[in-house]
Amino acid sequence: MAVLLLTGVLSGRSAFGASGALQLQRFLDSISRAGMSGFLVVLVVLVLIAFTGFLPASLIGVVSGSLYGLFDGFLVSALATLAGAWVSFLVSRGLFRESFERMFIRRARLRRFGDEIVKGGWRFVCLLRMSPIMPFALTSYALGLSGISARNYLLGTVASLPALFGYVCMGSFARHSINAKSINVGYLQWVILGLGVAATIFLTLYVKRVYSRANAVS
């Protein structure tokens, strides 16, 4: 329900309606009044979103910003994102990587491709995180199966966190029920989309180049 209300606010007060905005305000106020218990509940929910991927990861920033504002909201969303990403990585690497390696150990071309991919290190991870076409949780599990180091995995995830701030801003603006035009939410959405498109283009070019190098090896 909270997600639907937030979406309504972000689409504009005229479409959302005064009654819906009031419901959202009451819901957020009730969470804020819950103190530490409310904070822990929100944190667990956000970690689960990052870990399972049952909702878009961008909602982590939107919800955090709506509840705690820009600064605290960014800290909460960053903490939840990193925790969920780390748990996903550990689960994938600990439970499935050996089976994955045995399955493809005899596929030399695929093995070379994987080796070339991980040479991108944390920069490759960062591009994956920033691309809107790459689901956050699925990317975490896929990287756990790869040969990417835990250090580069964490560095790449941390490097992608500034993009999360835009979603935190949207949530914070929605909390205060400000009209989209007056705060230029539309421009903010275009900036985030532009960054995502740029990351996707760079990612595509990088993977294409790596694929060519892997196939060139005899």
Could you report the per-residue pLDDT of 42-95, keeping only the tens digit for each? Answer: 888 889 888 988 888 888 888 888 888 888 889 999 999 999 999 999 999 888
Instruction: Identify whether the C-beta of residue 209 lies closer than 8 Å to the C-beta of residue 127.
Output: no
- Span 3-10, mean pLDDT? 46
DSSP for 40-86 reads HHHHHHHHHHHHH-SS-THHHHHHHHHHHHHHHHHHHHHHHHHHHHH
> What average pLDDT does the structure give for the chain?
75
- The single residue listed with the structure tokens 């205060």 is 176
Which residues lie closer than 8 Å to 37 by C-beta, 6 or more apart? none
Question: What are 195's two structure tokens?
Answer: 């960054």
Q: How far apart are CA 81 and CA 161, in angstroms?
A: 8
Q: At what angle do helices 35-52 and 18-33 cross, to 10 degrees?
A: 110
pTM: 0.74
- Is residue 154 predicted with pLDDT exceeding 90? yes
- Is residue 36 predicted with pLDDT exceeding 90? no
Quote the pLDDT of residue 82.
Answer: 94
Quote the pLDDT of residue 206.
Answer: 74
Quote the pLDDT of residue 124.
Answer: 87
- 135 versus 203: which is more confidently predicted? 135
Hey, what amino acid is at 172? S
- Return the minimum-mean-pLDDT range out of 21-25, 33-37, 114-118: 21-25
pLDDT confidence of 146, banded at 50, 70, 90?
Answer: confident
pLDDT confidence of 2, banded at 50, 70, 90?
Answer: very low
Instruction: Identify whether the C-beta of residue 184 lies closer than 8 Å to the C-beta of residue 192.
Output: no
